[in-house]
A and B are shown apart, each in its own frame.
Chain A
Amino acid sequence: MSISGTTERPVAGGRLRFGDGWAGYGFLAPWLVGFFLLTLGPAIASFYLSLTDYSGLGAANWVGAENYVRIATDDPRFWTAMNVTFTFVLLSVPLKLIFALAVAVALNRGLAGLSFFRAIFYLPSLVGGSVAVAVLWRQVFAGDGLLNQALNALFGFEGPSWISNPSTSLYTLILLAVWQFGSSMIIFLAGLRQIPQDMYEAASIDGAGKARQFFRITLPLLTPVIFFNAVILTIDAFKAFTSAFVISDGTGGPIDSTLFYTLYLYQEAFTNFRFGYASALAWVLVLIIAFFTAMSFLTARFWVHYDD
């Protein structure tokens, strides 16, 4: 098939001659170059490196599965990072979902100035992932930060330094993540708009109050959107990096309490120059994310309702 001037369409099973479609590949070229050079190539390279002792300089010596064996049997910081990351994922994702849905439902009531509030609530999602906000966050939750100044002024309460206390530091990061609920909220809002109004009218004739309508009509009909948001947020949460890096100055401290998986991976690669080992860590994370995503899709048929 050529692009120029013919309306003929390739018949199923018909033979394509070599050279057909070059124009198409030409248009695809920017994406193809990007995919092969910047995505697939490095992915394959990192898998190869994960089987070596590459240090960033010099030769990469083949060590077989040794890096993976060490991750599984002889690396306490790996387990610390797993612990921190899973705590972060299991708390931030549900909280973010609930918060985003609650705000979306409130905004969907059709109150005046909807577009204004929608923009305001979306703002943290635009700026929240940035270094600047993480820096600001550090100022808010530091020992003499804004939060403690406010607590002191209001209640005379001398707060601890939330970010330098190992038992609270992770929760400030979870809070920062939940604050960035905007994009999920926008998707929820779109989902709520999709639910036909007459469904609620039928339910109100059936005597269902607002709460029953929400739990029996809105939530079930929103499950495809909840599912989508949950998967995206879970993947994002496993990959969270910037906020922990900025707030802990790249250490994952205090005493590894904010050692996100990706932060540990970064330290191994760029502080300890163990690129081979870091590559192995990266592939373990890929497997973890793949496992959780697969589980989500497998369980979806039991709780996600797709209309038609």
Chain B
Amino acid sequence: MNFSVLQFPASNCDQDAVHAVRHFGHSARLVWHKDAALGDTDCVIVPGGFSYGDYLRCGAIARFSPVMQAVKQFADNGGLVLGICNGFQVLTEAGLLPGALIRNRDLQFHCENIFLKTATNDSPFTSQIPVGKILRVPIAHGEGCYFADEETLAKLKANNQILWQYCDATGNLTDTANPNGALQNIAGICNEKRNVAGLMPHPERACEPLLGSDDGKWIFESIFAALKNKTVAAAA
């Protein structure tokens, strides 16, 4: 499988994402923000960082880069797109995902390991996560508080678009387990077509036991499985 990892000025998790994909035996390459085409790509990762210095709002400027026009088209054609941290912010600013990410409620930058509950296995990003498995993955953000108006939130719930929620070690969605004040403890969502997803935590930083946790692999395994199914379906 070929992964394209976008690279904006001040992206800083791009190399981690490339490393994670290659670690699992797939190919990944960096795509510069000024490139207007993605090339041969099965999945796009919009990585974490501080694209364009987070000027104006996180992700606001990155949204207008030439490469994001290509990503929009790729997503419109059903391509898989995963936004991690700043990548999630970019995807909401671009209108590829609903809602917005605002300042953490305690105004602090949080850099810590958190626990994630997978709300549904019905998506290309969660299908392989064992049922009931609580994922331990790191977060590192100052503006990760998910917000959406009531109507959008109701729609997210009705369509099963909430993919991950912050929880405690045993899977309870408590307020103390919520690091940033996100509505409904939301850590990650997908779009209505379920081919675009974003999350604030960093699965790419938790893919090897050496890093303290390899729970992030389940998200990557889900994407690999979805792409494999797609290839099989296309060949049939």
A and B from one assembly? no
Q: Which residues of A contact B (CB under 8 A)?
A: none
Q: Which residues of B contact A (CB under 8 A)?
A: none
